[in-house]
Structure formats: structure tokens, C-alpha cells
Amino acid sequence: MQTMGMPYRKSTGIKGSFDAVVIGSGMGGLSVASLLAQNGRRVLVLEQHNVIGGLTQSYTRKGYRWTVGLHYIGDVGSPATTTWKLFDKVTGGGVRWAPLPDIYNRMVIGGRRYDIPAGAAPYAAALKGYFPKEAAAIDRYLGLVRSVSKASAGYFAQKALPQSRAEDVYDRMCGDFHDYSDRLTIDVLRELTADRELIAVICANWGDYSLEPTRSSFAMHCMLAKHYLNGGHYPVGGGAAFARSIVPIIESAGGVVLHSAEVAEIMVAQGRTTGVRLASGEEFACPLVISNAGVQNTFGRLLSAQVKTTSGLDHATSQVVESYAVVGVNIGFNRPASELGFDGANIWAHPSNDFEANLEAHRRDFEAPFPWTFATFPSAKDPSWDDDYPGKATVEMYGYTDFRHFEKWSATQWMKRGEDYLALKEKIRERLLEELFRHVPAARSALDYVEVSTPLSYETFVKRERGGFMGIESSPQRFRQSWLRATTPIDGLYLSGQDVSTDGVIGALVGGVLAGSAVLGRDLMRDIRTPIEPVSA
């Protein structure tokens, strides 16, 4: 397995001095480190896993490659979009984007298939074709998607401000956004239409934003829908392309990126950050620490109880909830994607259009159908794949689950969880494979390798409490937590990543930009969106 950066060695320790320490090398950590490096800061990135990249990392096994948590990105089809500009800035232009096919998502509801095309007009036409009696509701819905997404700008801009300054402008900058972030997705949609199937199709990819329609914020739904309105793209070379592009930027400014370097504590004295203590026992002094470990880890695990109490953070994490858990399979096939029916479109499948009933059945009984499954086909999306892995194909597939089904093994060690756990993993393997072959039956004969993951995999490798697949739940309550911002009550301690912004890779990237803005005291989002052109001599 190849990775960027260097391994941490207890015997040699960390040498040199740095302007900032970043905990975690996911998109939120790498993006803020890149932005600081581009502004002349020496940054030390500490990653507890042995691969740099967090959930954007790729890994290889048995001659195949998979990306852990990045499957498609919206709004990067043109250099004019903000998302394209953000990625271009933090990667130094080092990532190329390959478009998914025009039909980029397939929603399967109780066996009924709905193809979702790229583009606002084709999407509207497709929905109206499937639901001709709901044309007016569809138009009203898409109008809300645009207007609610636009209203989010002020909400995110204030997150880079110190708490004291944000309090003065909070209502003015967030009021329009909160009009819809306070409302549940299902409540708004039911005001538009009584057609349960239409609502199910519109919300079929709710796994992209962490929470089902009966509990998710409508504003989050709109931001996600707007993000993918023009379809999806995939980074050429898979998720590892981000670390390959960003790590050299950090290193060129005198920074260092270390993997296998777990941080055990953020050290604080008299209300100020003084550095970090590693799991090895080494203490490294630095007055500026940026945590991309998530708010539950940062405030719940990396700060001492006394620091949490004196900083007023001891109750903060009880106001937010970690997102859902998944089981998954990474699959290798010994024939190319073109022969197996893989065309690059993702498949979101649900047992029925009653999402709540699906969830409740599985929460009661693990043997009940997974409330949703998501299958994605990286070898069909990446134009470099056939050159690197000729004659082979891969699938990454996930199923929603409840952590309580795995709780009995949560105190066990990786690779030592017992025969009953291995038997459960085998059942997961068979169930997900059978679901996949319902959609792509030609792939069955080319099956070559399968690797199973559970919520415990995410607990072990990315330190996610209760195996959370994303960040914290995108509920109305989440968007009312004014303390969820880049700055913290502790001088010198900043937050980055998706918990500062919204769930997903884009949320983590925006969280990195907000953290960079807070550290540098400059609106980097504005700078990136509208760069100042150099004056010709």
C-alpha cells in the first residue's frame, strides 16, 4: 500500500518547529494545511492511520484499487464554479475531473427504476415524465432548491468569525437560511406533493447527506440537490489524487506530513493551546492546533475533562449526534467494466418508498433488508483505470445499518473479534453481493475478490464514534449550534472539516477553507471565488 508523507517514528520523534499542527489528513485537514502552506506557513500534519487521506484515501489489494469514502463530486464541471475553484486552489491544479455519464444516478424504489440525468432541465423533464401529474410540484421544488441553497452563503461566512463577532451578525447573516434549515425535509415536500413515490425518488440519495427525510434539515437536502443538479464527476486516479497533489504543497513550504502518528491529547494551559501529546508519549509544542478529527473526538476525547469544563465545552457534544453507520464490500472482478454492464452510474436502492418503515424494520432485526444500498463503479468512472488495471473492474458498495447490531464486538480488537463476527461478515458479503447482482447480473461470473467492512472498521481506522460514516447528523438542531465554527473558546485551537460545515467531502473542503480563513484573518472563500488579477507592467 502506497501513501504520501512519511511514517512517524517514536525513536526519532518530530524534529523542527512549525507554525501550526493539523490533526487528521482527511479533506478538511489537507485543505487547511494546503491553504496555510500557500500563505507561507510551515504546517505539521499528524495522521493516526498508516495512509494519508482520511476517507478520501485509496488502497490496493490483490491487484485492485478502491477509494474509501469518495464516490462522486458535483459542481466541478466548469472552472467557473466555486467548487471547482476550491479544489483547484487546495490541490494546486493537480486534480483532473472525469464526468460521470449523463445518467449519473439510478434510484431503485421497490424494484422500480428511475434514471436521474445531469442538468436542471433534463432532471425536471425526467421527473415530470415519471410523474406527469406532479409537474407544478416539481417546478416549485426545484425553485426552492435554488433559493434555499443561495440563502446558505451568509450562514457559512459567519462560521469563520470569532464567536464574539459572529453573535453581532448571526441573525442577519443566518435568518433566511434558518427559515428552511429549521424545517424537516419531509414536511416541506409534503406541502408540495402527496405523491410518496415522487418524494422517495427526490430523496433516494439521502445517504449523501446523512439523515432520512423525516429527520433531516430541508436546507441540507436543498444544498445537496443543488450540488448534484448538473451531475457528478470523479477524480482521475481515484481519491488518492488529492493527497498526491496536496502533500507536496505542504512540504514545499517547509511542512511535514506524518502518518502512523496518533494524537492522544491537545494540550492546553491557562486557556491557550500549547501543543499536542502523541499516543507514543511524545509532546510537541505549538501554539496553534487545527483539529480535523471531528467535534466528538476533539471535544470528547482529545481535551481533558478539566479543559472541557473550564472552556464551557463539556455539554457541547451532547447537542449533536454522529451520522449513520454502514456495512460495505469492496469487490474486484477479473473482467473489464465494459463487459459487465458497469456504465459509471451509481445505484441507490430501497426496499420500498416507505423509508421510515424500512429503517424501523432493520433497526429491529439485522436480517431485515438494508434500508438502502449504494453501489458505485470506480473502474467505469476513472479514465485512467484501464491503463493501470487492464482487464479488471471494481465496485464499492454500502448498506445502511444500525451500530447496535455490532455493539457486542465494540470492545474487541481488530482481527480478534471472534468466529461469530466473522460469520456475520460472511452474511453481509452474501447479502450485498446478491443485491448487486440483481442490478448487474453479468458481473456474477467475473467475481474474483471481496473485502467486507462494518461500522467497527470505521471505529478502528478513522476513530469514528459508533462507526459513523460521515460527520454529525444534518438535523435542524445541527444548524442551530452556533458554536459549530472554525474558532473555539480555547485560544489557538481551531476546527476544520465537515462538522464545521456540512457532511461529505465538499463539506470537509469548505470546513478547511473556513478554518484557514479564521487562522489567517482573511475571507479565503471570497479570495478563491474572485481572485485578484495581477496588474500588467
Same domain as 419, residue 292? no
**Residue 262: how many CA atoms within 13 Å on its side-chain side?**
13
CA distance 247 to 537: 34
Integer Cα distance of 455 and 404 in angstroms: 10
What strands lie across the sheet with 232-235, from one edge to the other?
73-74, 232-235, 97-99
pLDDT of 534 above 80: no
For 248, half-sphere exposure in the C-beta direction (CA atoms, 13 angstrom radius) is 8
Instruction: Render 433-484 in DSSP notation, one character per residue.
Output: HHHHHHH-GGGGGGEEEEEEE-HHHHHHHH--GGG-SSSB---TTGGG-TT-
Single-letter amino acid code for the residue at 308 = K
Which residue(s) pair with 265 in the sheet?
277
CB count in 10 Å sphere of residue 366: 17
Q: Say if residue 337 is in the same domain as residue 409.
A: yes
Residue 503 has pLDDT above 80, yes or no: yes
- CA angle, corner 146, sides to 80 and 107, nearest 5? 95
Domain hosting residue 434, numbered range: 324-467
- CA-based torsion, 283, 289, 294, 296: positive or negative: positive
pLDDT in tens, 34-76: 999 999 999 999 999 999 999 899 999 999 999 988 999 999 9
Reported as a pLDDT band with limits 50, 70 and 90, residue 314 is confident
Question: In the structure, what pLDDT confidence band is assigned to residue 535 with cuts at 50, 70 and 90?
Answer: very low
* Average pLDDT of the residues of the chain: 94
Q: How confident is the model at residue 203 (pLDDT cuts 50, 70, 90)?
A: very high
Name the pLDDT band for 533 (thresholds 50, 70, 90). Answer: low
Q: Are residues 312 and 345 in the same domain?
A: no
Task: Report, as an integer, the average pLDDT of 135-164.
Answer: 92
CA-only gyration radius of the chain, Å: 22
Q: Tell me whether residue 15 is in a domain.
A: yes
Residue 491's CATH number: 3.50.50.60
pLDDT digits (tens, 9 = 90+) for 346-401: 999 999 999 999 999 999 999 999 999 999 999 999 999 999 999 999 999 999 99
The answer to whether residues 205 and 299 belong to one domain is no
381 and 507 both lie in a single domain: no
Q: Do 219 and 132 belong together in one domain?
A: yes
Number of H helices, E strands in the chain: 19, 21
Q: What distance in Å separates the CA atoms of residue 37 and residue 520, rounded to the nearest whole number?
A: 11
In this structure, are 389 and 452 located in the same domain? yes
Tell me the average pLDDT across 270-280: 97
Residues written for the chain: 537
Last residue of a domain, one of 210, 228, 246: 228
Predicted model pTM: 0.94
- What would the mean pLDDT of 129-152 be, rounded to a whole number? 97
Residues 450 and 376 in one domain: yes
Q: Report the largest interatomic distance among the alpha carbons of the chain, rounded to a whole angstrom.
A: 73
Among the candidates 228, 255, 276, a domain finishes at 228
Residue 95 scores a pLDDT above 70:
yes
- 537 pLDDT tier (thresholds 50, 70, 90): very low
Q: In percent, how much of the chain has pLDDT > 90? A: 85
Distance CA 393, CA 332 (A): 6
Q: Which residues contact 349 (CB under 8 A, 6 or more apart)?
A: 108, 372, 373, 374, 375, 435, 439
DSSP codes of every residue in 314-370: TTGGGG--B--EEEEEEEEESS-GGGTT--S-EEEEESSS-HHHHHHHHHH-TTSPP
Q: Of 228, 262, 286, which one is at a domain's C-terminal end?
A: 228
Decide if 31 contacts 246 (C-beta within 8 A). Answer: yes
In the predicted structure, residue 297 carries a pLDDT above the cut 60: yes
Same domain, 140 and 191: yes
Q: 463 and 328, same structural domain?
A: yes
The domain total for the chain is: 3
What is the pLDDT confidence band of residue 1, given thresholds at 50, 70 and 90? Answer: low
